[in-house]
Amino acid sequence: MDIPRLHPDTIEEIKQRADIVDVISEHVVLRKRGKDFTGLCPFHDDKSPSFSVSPGKQFYYCFGCGAGGNAIKFMMELGKRSFSDVVLDLARRYQVPIKTLEPAQKQELQRQISLREQLYEVLALTAKFYEHALQQPQGEPALTYLKSARQLSAETIQQFQIGYAPAGWQTLYGYLIEQKRYPVELVEKAGLIVTRPEGKGYYDRFRDRLMIPIHDLQGRVTGFGGRSLGDEQPKYLNSPETELFDKGKTLFALDKARGAIAKADKAIVVEGYFDVIALHAVGITHVVASLGTALSLHQVRQLLRYSESKQIVLNFDADAAGNKAAERAIGEVADLAYQGEVQLRVLNIPAGKDPDEFLKSHKPEDYLTLLNEAPLWLDWQIQQLLKGTDLNQSDQFQQSTQEIVKLLGNLPNATLRTHYIHRCAELLSQNNAHLTLQLEADLRTQVRGQRWHGRSQKWVRPGDRTLLEESEAQILRVYLHLHEYRDFIKQALDERDLDFSMAHHRFLWQQIMHIEEAWETGLVQATSRDLIAELQDRCTDFPAKLPALYPLFQLDEKTKRDLLRSPLVIRAATACMERVMCEKRCRHFLNLWEKMDSTASPDLAQYYQQQIYAEKQRIADLDRQQRQTTFADLAQIPWVGEYYEALETSQAATQAATQTASQRE
């Protein structure tokens, strides 16, 4: 049935009373800038404050994504809620009387829209009931536990509204339904009672448990977490999913912590309710907890609204279960972490303690010291891989190396990979300087193999080899003769994660790097810094290499013309190098997929298919970019044009093989 239309007077009065800064500040950290306020936009992944709120105009606008409107529009867009739902919510908040266009239908309107309000009312009353029960004789064991075992003050107990659910099967049922006369269906929808297995009657969901209310950002009770006081399992029991409560989208104590998170510019996520409560009790209030589930991407995005630097510290228990939870959380936000959109750190308290235990024997300052020293998520994962490993045992050394290679192979940023390859080489060599250099080279090769399957020539076609040799020669020739393009070339190779495939080109590049490193470190006092002269001197010790390298040192009329178009040559050459490598990887995975039994290893088959698809997508992107280059530009680089003409024939063969594979699947 359609909800009757709200009276225009009601809507207008809400617009007049609702303060846009008040409404938006519950969801976005706003900072005063002149007459207006600014913050991170909640409607897109804002990296710098582009969201502006004008209290004078009662209007918000994002200069990044273009979102804008009044308080009603904001609530509708943020929560994907209907106009009527938002207006009624604001009406209750600002105590605006509700009128409809047809007064006779007001009762029906209230019946349809008041379910959430009634649920809030029932849950608030239940929280008070549990608080009262804690202070009664039947709640004395629970209160003693809180004050003695948990060392909580009366103020903290009151602040978090901690209560006690009596042990009877129908104590709350009797209070809410028999005494307060709430409909049994409403109490059931609030998640407070459960239908008996026989379908005859109900019983209380929470019995003989410490009760911790869970609030939304407006401080309203939406559910409960109950801790058993005896041997009853589970130890912690949360409210079920309801109209108001979604544990995958809820963070415990975010209503109390969001201001502190904004002030500290950092959020701490712990595992348990009492970890949060213990930290808040000693003044460390930028802390929340996930509700017995892995930290979800939705929850992370909630926290990122309140931290400009996007810092989140996971402080889970240092046992196997806690480490597994941390790994799951990292997996949830890995894409954001790899892209630098969240600064994720992991804190494991020594001796396997959780924050609540730690604070019983340490000062709050000790916890803050550990917090500031918490390693980045990747450093923590590397530590976990090496923990308890005897690197002097060859089998353990090999296994650790393989795991590290797999981990670093996921890093999309080449500079970051270089940093961690060096760091891991130091760890694996146990700070043996000579061994570190060898391990670093080995790790780099293995990581590249993890990402690109090494330099094997098995999947290179004759035409590819010709193109690779010409492309690499063009890159090296520009590098040798035009020093102003050297940084540009390094950046282009780094961004595309490219290496030289031809052995003589790879040898020359290594010599170039050695010479430049010697110059930078001052190991060689060079006056002219003539790179070609230095290389020629070095190559006299490798006479077999000279015939292949000599043409790069000398220029003829054609190569001189190419140097005049260096930016275009560099872009075309690196694009061709990447395309050949993509084709090579695609054929490699296709061969693996064709040889395997997909029914026996469906996950591996899916992985191969995903890799094939990813490579073909990248090839399509490269071809699209190449087509955007003008014909005149291509004509200036004959070897590129010749390659793309020959490519049409080879693509037909590749497409036929892929179609055959798809049909077989």
Its CATH architecture, for the domain 8-111, is Alpha-Beta Complex (3.90)
Stretch 25-52: mean pLDDT: 85
Most confident of 195-199, 522-526, 624-628: 195-199
Contact between residue 56 and residue 35 where contact means Cβ atoms under 8 Å apart: yes
Contact 661, 594 (CB under 8 A): yes
Residue 469: what pLDDT? Answer: 86
Please give the Cα distance from 188 to 182 (Å, whole number): 10
Q: Please give the pLDDT value at position 206.
A: 97
Pairing relation of β-strands 236-238 and 221-228? antiparallel
**Which range has highest mean pLDDT (138-152, 392-406, 451-465, 489-503)?**
138-152
Burial class (CB within 10 angstroms; exposed 0-12, middle 13-18, buried 19+) of 206:
buried
What does the alpha-carbon distance between residue 229 and residue 236 come to, in Å, rounded to a whole number? 10
* Nearest Cα residue to 378 out of 420, 349, 413, 341: 420
DSSP 8-state code for residue 114: -
149 to each of 90, 196, 208, 281, 569, how far by Cα in Å? 43, 35, 17, 15, 72
130 has pLDDT over 60: yes
Distances (CA, A) of 350 to 264, 317, 374, 390, 534: 24, 10, 12, 21, 53
d(CA 402, CA 348): 24
Q: Which residues of 92-101 are buried (b: 16+ CB within 10 A; e: fewer)?
A: eeeebebbbe
Lowest mean pLDDT of 221-235, 526-540, 634-648, name the range: 634-648
Write the pLDDT tens digit of every residue in 605-619. Answer: 776 788 888 889 888
Q: Tell whether omega for the bond before 97 is within 30 degrees of 0, i.e. cis.
A: no
Q: Assess whether pLDDT exceeds 70 at residue 101.
A: no
Contacts of 60 (CB under 8 A, 6+ apart): 20, 24, 51, 52, 53, 54, 67, 68, 69, 70, 74
Mean of pLDDT values over 211-225: 93
Residue 642 has pLDDT above 60, yes or no: no
Measured in degrees and rounded to the nearest 5, phi and psi for residue 591 equal: -65, -45
More confident of the two residues 581 and 520: 581
The pLDDT score that the predictor gives to residue 47 is: 77
Residue 572's contacts (CB-CB under 8 Å, 6 or more residues apart) are 471, 626, 629, 637, 640
Chain segment 221-279, per-residue pLDDT in tens = 999 999 999 888 889 999 999 989 988 889 999 999 988 998 898 999 998 899 999 99
Does residue 527 surpass a pLDDT of 50? no
Q: Where are the domains of the chain?
A: 8-111, 116-245, 249-377, 388-452, 462-507+538-652
Contact residues for 206 (Cβ-Cβ < 8 A; gap 6+): 165, 172, 192, 224, 226, 237
Q: What is the CATH code of the structural domain delimited by 116-245?
A: 3.90.980.10
Strands 68-69 and 209-215: unpaired
Q: Is the per-residue pLDDT at 568 higher than 90?
A: no
Which two three-digit tokens encode residue 294? 């892995």
Rounded mean pLDDT of 418-439? 89
Q: 249-377, what's its fold?
A: Dna Topoisomerase Vi A Subunit; Chain: A, domain 2 (3.40.1360)
